[in-house]
A and B are shown apart, each in its own frame.
Chain A
Amino acid sequence: MNLRWKYLIKRTGQMLLTLWIIATILFFIFRLMPGNPLVAYIDPTFTEEQQEILMKQFGLDKSLWMQYIIYIKNLFQGELGQSFFFKDSVINVISKVLPNTIYLMLTALIIAYTAGIVGGIFLAWKRGEMIESVGIVFTLFTRAAPQFWVGMILLAIFSFQFDIFPSGGVSQAGTVYSSELDKLLSFQFYRHLFLPALTLSIYLLGLPLLLMRSNMLDVMDESYVEMAKIRGVSKIRVLVKYAARNAFLPVITAMAVGIGYAMGGNVVIETVFSWPGLGRLLVKAVSTSDYPLAQGAFILIAGVMVFMNFVADILYSLLDPRVNIDSKR
């Protein structure tokens, strides 16, 4: 049993080291950037000493090194500091937008990966036929098209032209949800979620589909698939239980990494669909030089990405018995 724990501990150690390095890099990126961050918040008519108070309030008067020590100390206590712009704790501000990003991201990922896996199986099954090259070209188009361009076109057609879907926001004006669950159950929420999730999943679709197809083609040549056919197992069952079950392992690990990418990635979609998510908050923080907020958002996204890479490794060994180290012998 200890072989497994040793691997886990080593891996977690690596993960923490990576996170620490990222946190340090982020600290210096924001501190060395041009533009005095306080400009947006000190009213020009302030006197000198008023500006002093504010500098102290945000800890900008201390030496860079001292700031770094406080920064790391806070980080460990999960304290990400105070946002200049929203005059509120970074965690508080982020926690208000985080659910929206997670809903959008998860829905899009689920749609993209289910469609991707099914599409991958289909294309592998139709190997060599016309439909297969058409499918591949289409998938490459979905990966090559700029997200916002696709988003705007969908918006123009389904919202401006035919008014089937709303043109922005998370819910209808003035609706009050009693709880997050109530929000998740309301039809209006999904009507608002549909276009952004569709645009994001069109973009995310490419990776799982092509990866799944490639794995399927490898697996289809394996002799245990042929043996299953010889055993008279039905075509569909062979495709799913033998081929897909082995082929989809790498796709699942890719999904874990995909979650990390999607966390920070859908800035553009959030802007087009006025979706109040983490991405847009980050752009707001950057353009208002509110670097504690930008830094906090960044560390959160980076943390999720590193964690997801870690989960991807573990997931793979869980799913594939061959890799399972502590198998019952």
Chain B
Amino acid sequence: MSRKISVVLSIIMVFTFIVTLTNETGFGAESDRLVEVSLITRPKASSPDEFETITILAEEMRKVGIDAKVDVMPWEQMADVVWYDRESWDITGWQMTARPERLDPDEFTYNLFHSSTAETGYNFIGYINNEYDEVAEKQRVTVDKEERRKLIYKSQEIIAEDVAYIFSVNPMVNIVYNNQVFAESSIKEMAGLGIKNFWTYLYAEPISDQKDLVLNSNDTVQAVNPLYISGSVDSWITELVWDRLMRMGQDGLPKPWAAKSVDWIDKTTIRVVLRDDLRFHDGEKVTVEDVKFSFEVPKTGEAPMYKPFVDIIDVINIEDDQTLVFKLKKPWAAFETASLAKINIIPKHVWEPVIEDLKDKPENAESYQEEVPVGSGPFKFSNWKFSEEVVLSANEDYFQPPKVDKWIVRFVENMEATFGMIQNGEINFLATYLGDNQLLQQRVKEDEKLTMVSSIDLGFRFLAPNHRIRPFSDKAFRKAVAALNDRELIAALVWKGFAVPSDGVISPALEYWDNPNVNYPEAGLQNARKILEEAGYEWDEEGRLLYPDA
């Protein structure tokens, strides 16, 4: 091919390159009164609902003249920005996931908004309100439920009034299982968690030759370690392999489990009587020493993640070989849920030497991975094929042995493949599903061997405004954005009707604690404009919103 032609063609390529470059960067003068907001969200692939919610809100904000820009980043970068430099971001999509210990309102009510956790803790929005601090501290120590309920109601009113968070929805938890593999009656539902819970795994009754319960997760297991809260999947496994003194019941309230009885002698002392038929998977008997050891290990700093759940304990004395008495530093209403039902009973004869030798090493118990984890729970650890599956087998001599032979969790990232698997039986319990719920519901209707159980999630989705800097430091602006964030539309559009609008941190699933009537800003573009006008905001000739020039 002659040289002339190739010279001509490369000129054309240079030309296209320059043209594309120029129209890329827009120009425009910026005055300092213009309201600019950057909304942070995770990419659509890892969190479709958050991405769509933020995109819609940004669109609405632009309608009232706010210069809204969507800023997408993977979860780690987002956490780094929001957590570590708390002055630099405006508003971010966020979510609180459902965990059994959050069935008690204490964690959300206290940790999320108390001023003490504003510096480095969960109160990353920097919400400071002394009146709220008082209510939060008081409810913590009010053991009487009725009394405590009034305080929880009060806390929800303050948050709604202050629009601390811009609430979005409580999603529905849609779990599908194969009704030809498990008897319908044996599937247990739990308030706020749906049917994906301890009770279902324990009582699920196989009615076909498939005796194994095979469920899925879209994330791999990080570690199977009773002293390390790693991923959500890991917590399902820990909950089954290691036993606990108490378990959260189907009604969302703690009840004695490995403990025969739990009675409060006074506000700060609790007597726990242990069951006498408990054995570890290696045959050793479960003793009170093991239980005492399990509650004291987090204190040594070798299990940092469990430390907050045992800090409140002053001392544990052994009365006899079946009874222990816990002495607390000060009363803590959530002690049963957040500690007795949270700490895993670990074998002293296995972990004591490990903790001993970790003392002088920089690493802690979190990076210690037992060859074959030993617990005393309903399931025994059987096999872990890295980033593929974890297999647990039923512990026959447990006092309440599970009916299934094996409990297998498979890691499948590809949502379409997961969808295919539940239909062709490769998995018979769809535990995690990030896909389109409408499609799921339609397919369940068409396929009679599948049953779907939907329930309101304990966790909730919201937008976290940064109270430290403009514009979200101004309550009126937060109110206006709350009005722009039409929760009905989000529930219908983004969640396709599989979510309920949320107006507080306490999910409707917890009827006892949820305050039904809080006055949260009413959705609508006009309402938002009115709020902004009243607060002194103005618009320039092109309709761009300007800060009040006070």
Contact surface of A with B, Cβ cutoff 8 Å: 34-36, 39-40, 43-46, 50, 53, 56-57, 82, 85-88, 93, 96-97, 152, 155-156, 159-160, 163, 166-174, 176, 271-274, 276, 280-281, 284, 287-289
| Docked complex: B52-77 residues within 8 A CB-CB of A | 74-77
Task: Say how far B138's CB is from chain A's closest CB, in angstroms.
Answer: 22
| Docked-complex contact A86 and B122, CB < 8 angstroms | no
Residue of A with least CB distance to B46? A287
Residue of B with least CB distance to A93? B386
Cβ-defined partner of B408 (8 Å) among A57, A160, A173:
A173
- Give bound CA distance, A43 to B220, whole Å: 19
Cβ-defined partner of A35 (8 Å) among B77, B223, B411, B424:
B77
Extra contacts, 11 of them, besides A39-B80, A87-B228, A96-B387 (Cβ < 8 A), are: A35-B80, A45-B117, A53-B362, A88-B367, A168-B412, A173-B214, A174-B214, A174-B391, A272-B417, A274-B412, A284-B220
- In this assembly, does B276 line the interface, its C-beta being within 8 Å of a C-beta of chain A? no
- Give bound CA distance, A172 to B388, whole Å: 10
| Docked-complex contact B84 and A272, CB < 8 angstroms | no
- In this assembly, does B410 line the interface, its C-beta being within 8 Å of a C-beta of chain A? yes
Knowing A159-B420, A169-B389, the reply to whether A274 touches B411 (Cβ < 8 A) is yes
Of the listed stretches B252-260, B301-309, B333-341, B529-537, chain A binds: B301-309
| Docked-complex contact A173 and B385, CB < 8 angstroms | no
- Give bound CA distance, A97 to B388, whole Å: 10
| Docked-complex contact B83 and A167, CB < 8 angstroms | no
- Give bound CA distance, A53 to B305, whole Å: 14
Cβ-defined partner of A168 (8 Å) among B222, B229, B417:
B417
| Docked complex: B406-442 residues within 8 A CB-CB of A | 406, 408, 410-414, 416-421, 423-424, 426-427
| Docked-complex contact A39 and B76, CB < 8 angstroms | yes
Task: Say how far A179's CB is from chain B's closest CB, in angstroms.
Answer: 14
- In this assembly, does B212 line the interface, its C-beta being within 8 Å of a C-beta of chain A? yes
Residues in A with CB closer than 8 Å to B424 are: 159-160, 163, 166-167
Residue of B with least CB distance to A168? B417
- Give bound CA distance, A271 to B411, whole Å: 11
| Docked-complex contact A173 and B387, CB < 8 angstroms | no
Knowing A274-B412, A287-B76, A288-B76, the reply to whether A166 touches B386 (Cβ < 8 A) is no
- In this assembly, does B315 line the interface, its C-beta being within 8 Å of a C-beta of chain A? no
Task: Say how far B392's CB is from chain A's closest CB, in angstroms.
Answer: 10
A82, A87, A166, A276 — most chain B CB neighbours (10 Å): A87
Task: Say how far B439's CB is from chain A's closest CB, in angstroms.
Answer: 12
- Give bound CA distance, A172 to B391, whole Å: 12
- Give bound CA distance, A280 to B219, whole Å: 12
- Give bound CA distance, A169 to B229, whole Å: 26
Task: Say how far A149's CB is from chain B's closest CB, in angstroms.
Answer: 13
| Docked-complex contact B414 and A173, CB < 8 angstroms | no
- Give bound CA distance, A174 to B383, whole Å: 8
| Docked-complex contact B414 and A86, CB < 8 angstroms | no
Residues in B with CB closer than 8 Å to A167 are: 412, 414, 416-418, 420-421, 424, 426
Residues in A with CB closer than 8 Å to B418 are: 167-168
Residue of B with least CB distance to A288? B76
- Give bound CA distance, A289 to B420, whole Å: 31
Task: Say how far A105's CB is from chain B's closest CB, in angstroms.
Answer: 17
Residues in A with CB closer than 8 Å to B77 are: 34-35, 289
Residue of A with least CB distance to B362? A57
| Docked-complex contact B414 and A168, CB < 8 angstroms | yes
| Docked-complex contact A276 and B304, CB < 8 angstroms | no
| Docked-complex contact B305 and A43, CB < 8 angstroms | yes
- In this assembly, does B366 line the interface, its C-beta being within 8 Å of a C-beta of chain A? yes
| Docked-complex contact B420 and A155, CB < 8 angstroms | yes
- Give bound CA distance, A281 to B386, whole Å: 11
Q: In the A-B complex, list the 10 residue pairs whose CB atoms are closest, starting with the nearest.
A: A96-B386, A87-B367, A167-B420, A276-B387, A167-B417, A57-B362, A39-B80, A168-B417, A160-B420, A173-B214
Residue of B with least CB distance to A289? B76
Q: Mind listing 18 A-B residue pairs with CB under 8 Å? A: A44-B83, A53-B362, A87-B369, A166-B424, A166-B426, A167-B414, A167-B417, A168-B417, A168-B421, A168-B426, A169-B389, A173-B212, A174-B389, A174-B406, A271-B413, A273-B414, A276-B388, A280-B413
- Give bound CA distance, A174 to B404, whole Å: 13
Task: Say how far A172's CB is from chain B's closest CB, in angstroms.
Answer: 8
Residues in B with CB closer than 8 Å to A166 are: 421, 424, 426
Cβ-defined partner of B411 (8 Å) among A152, A174, A276:
A276
Task: Say how far B504's CB is from chain A's closest CB, in angstroms.
Answer: 22
| Docked-complex contact B410 and A45, CB < 8 angstroms | no
Residue of A with least CB distance to B304? A50
- Give bound CA distance, A167 to B426, whole Å: 8
| Docked complex: B239-261 residues within 8 A CB-CB of A | none
Q: Mark B501-518, 1 if CB is under 8 A from A, else 0.
A: 000000000000000000
Residues in B with CB closer than 8 Å to A289 are: 76-77
Task: Say how far A152's CB is from chain B's closest CB, in angstroms.
Answer: 7
| Docked-complex contact B416 and A87, CB < 8 angstroms | no
Residues in A with CB closer than 8 Å to B413 are: 271, 274, 280
Task: Say how far B541's CB is from chain A's closest CB, in angstroms.
Answer: 39
- Give bound CA distance, A58 to B366, whole Å: 14
Cβ-defined partner of B223 (8 Å) among A87, A274, A284:
A87
| Docked-complex contact B410 and A169, CB < 8 angstroms | yes
Cβ-defined partner of B84 (8 Å) among A36, A45, A46:
A36
Task: Say how far A58's CB is from chain B's closest CB, in angstroms.
Answer: 9
Residues in B with CB closer than 8 Å to A174 are: 212, 214, 389, 391, 406, 408
Residue of B with least CB distance to A152? B416
Residues in A with CB closer than 8 Å to B222 are: 85-87
Residues in B with CB closer than 8 Å to A97 are: 386-387
- Give bound CA distance, A205 to B434, whole Å: 35
Residues in A with CB closer than 8 Å to B223 are: 86-87
- In this assembly, does B207 line the interface, its C-beta being within 8 Å of a C-beta of chain A? no
Cβ-defined partner of A39 (8 Å) among B79, B214, B389:
B79
- Give bound CA distance, A280 to B414, whole Å: 12
Task: Say how far A290's CB is from chain B's closest CB, in angstroms.
Answer: 9
- Give bound CA distance, A280 to B383, whole Å: 21
- Give bound CA distance, A276 to B117, whole Å: 39
| Docked-complex contact B362 and A56, CB < 8 angstroms | yes
Knowing A87-B367, A167-B424, A174-B214, the reply to whether A271 touches B362 (Cβ < 8 A) is no
Task: Say how far A170's CB is from chain B's closest CB, in angstroms.
Answer: 6
| Docked-complex contact B121 and A44, CB < 8 angstroms | yes
| Docked-complex contact A176 and B386, CB < 8 angstroms | no
A53, A57, A169, A288 — most chain B CB neighbours (10 Å): A169
Residues in A with CB closer than 8 Å to B120 are: 44-46
Cβ-defined partner of B369 (8 Å) among A82, A88, A276, A287:
A88
